[in-house]
Structure 1
Amino acid sequence: MRRPDVSQLTEAVGTASEPPSWRHRIRPVPGRDHEERIRNTIAQHWINGQWTGSGSVLESINPADGTVVGSFYDGGEAEASAAVDAAAAAFETTEWARTPSLRATALSRLADALEARVPEVAAMLSRENGKLLGETTREVSGAVGWLRYAAASARTQTAGRAAETAPDVVRRTSRL
Structure 2
Amino acid sequence: MSRLFGPIRQNGYVVRDIEAAMKHWIDALQVGPWFYIDRVQTDWFRHRGQDSAVELSIALANSGDLQIELIQQRNDAPSMYKEFLDSGREGLQHVAFWSTDYQALYDRSLGLGYKLGHEGQIGGERGRFAYFDTGAPADPHAGTVVEISDISGNKGRFFEYVRKRAQDWDGTDPIRPVQGRA
Q: TM-score range by the shorter chain?
A: under 0.3
Q: Which has the higher helix share?
A: 1
Q: Which has the higher strand share?
A: 2
Q: Please identify the structure whose Cα radius of gyration is greater.
A: 1
Q: TM-score, normalised by structure 1?
A: 0.25
Query: 1 or 2 for the larger relative contact order (CA 8 Å, sep ≥6)?
Result: 2
